[in-house]
Structure 1
Amino acid sequence: MKLTRCSSFLGLLLVSNVYAGQQIVQLDDGRQAVLSDDFTWKYLYVSGDEEAVEPTSVAPSNLPTTPETRTSIAASTSLIAGASIIVVDGDNTKVAVEHSGVEIHLVSAQWSDGHLVIDTEITNNGLQPVIKADLNIDIYDLQGNLLASEEHAAFRSIKRMADTYLRPQQTKQGSTIKIEVTKHEQYQISSEISELDHRG
């Protein structure tokens, strides 16, 4: 009996240390999930002789802390492969896509006048100047329902004006993208560079 209590205590201590800085939530079916600061999650598995860790025993993370929001992330079983979860009006939007040495970063997401508004930043790590970059964006809710699929101009230079080209090892602010979708606190976003033109 003492050995079982001791192993339970050590198990709780170990789990608390491993998941410090993350949020643990209790699902409706009794299972628990660990929410990470990078907006990913996984189920928490505890061996039979250990007690479940209560969410209050773990230090809170930077994720939104309303019960409804925390539950919606953990309970969603329709997360899109390769997609990132973004929080509207949050500071943690960090989505990046890369193609041929060019990176486009989605650096913030706000809600304005019926649209999801996303700022972009583009970096050229290649060897040739970039004159055009288009971005294909798919927006999903947390249940995996597709809300919008659009292609947007992320960067355009001015024709025959070399100083507007995105030169190698240069970073510039890209276009602001507006997508009309229903309002949610969080979205899943999947994106890829669909077209890229260089000046030879």
Structure 2
Amino acid sequence: MKSYLLIASTLLSSSAFANQIVTLQNGKQIQLNDDFTWQYVAPQPAEEDITTSEITQPVIAVPVVPAPVATNVRGTTMVVDSQKPSLQLSQSGVDVVLGASHYEDGELIIPTAITNQGSQAVILVSLQLDVYSPSGERLTEQTVTVWKSIKRMADTYLRPKTNAEGTSIKLAVEQHPKYQIKAEIVEVLTR
């Protein structure tokens, strides 16, 4: 019986903090649930309207705290001349894979592949890249376009549920056997 009470009190206390009550501008109240759903809160009857047969539950007002902004920055160690892809990024239904890199003519070259998982044609995908030496020294910070369609030429759009080879990223950095890289998709334009 004690364990049942302990479980019940734990469930009640966790659910009390999981849901939040918010008052709208029109005076109505809604309950924000931890599963990103919401529902109207029934107005509480006045005390003279309560009969002994009614059971009311107390409403615990929990302050509304904004959720932290999620960033899509991903980092990894990129080994030059490895046979494995280095990193996969996703945003707005677009996946970008940074392939196996190599060093050629004073440039680090990173091939890309793009998949459109969304429902609209993609016309532009841009990445923000920060490249560091193995010791942590920043070598470059660049915004690069890895997919760009030709304006008003529908044949060049990346159609939904398709994939294509993207533009190779060429970075003029000093040669190292491996690099630390942070990447983020900063722009996806669809049509």
Q: Tell me the TM-score range normalised by the shorter chain.
A: 0.5 to 0.7
Asked if residue 116 in structure 1 is aligned to residue 108 in structure 2, the reply is yes
Which of 118, 122, 125 pairs up with 2:117? 125
Note the residue ranges of structure 2 that are not aligned, 5 or more in a row: 1-72
Which of 131, 138, 146 pairs up with 2:130? 138
Q: Secondary structure at the match of 2:128?
A: strand
Task: Check conservation: 1:124, 1:169, Cα contact below 8 A.
Answer: yes
Instruction: Tell me the CA shift for residue 145 of structure 1.
Output: 1.5
Task: Check conservation: 1:87, 1:93, Cα contact below 8 A.
Answer: no
- CA–CA separation in structure 1 for the residues paired with 2:85 and 2:138: 19
Asked if residue 93 in structure 1 is aligned to residue 85 in structure 2, the reply is yes
Per the normalisation by structure 2, the TM-score is 0.60
- CA–CA separation in structure 2 for the residues paired with 1:95 and 1:104: 8
Q: Secondary structure at the match of 2:155?
A: helix
Larger Rg: 2
Q: Secondary structure at the match of 1:163?
A: helix
In structure 1, the partner of 2:165 is: 173
Aligned length: 119
**Which letter maps to 2:136?**
G
**Which letter maps to 1:89?**
D
- CA–CA separation in structure 1 for the residues paired with 2:158 and 2:74: 27
**Which letter maps to 1:131?**
I
Task: Check conservation: 2:85, 2:97, Cα contact below 8 A.
Answer: no
In structure 1, the partner of 2:150 is: 158
Question: Map of 1:12-161 to 2, 5 A cutoff?
Answer: 82-161=74-153
Q: Secondary structure at the match of 2:89?
A: strand
Note the residue ranges of structure 1 that are not aligned, 5 or more in a row: 1-80
Instruction: Tell me the CA shift for residue 82 of structure 1.
Output: 4.1
- CA–CA separation in structure 1 for the residues paired with 2:86 and 2:77: 9
- CA–CA separation in structure 1 for the residues paired with 2:180 and 2:127: 16
- CA–CA separation in structure 2 for the residues paired with 1:94 and 1:113: 21
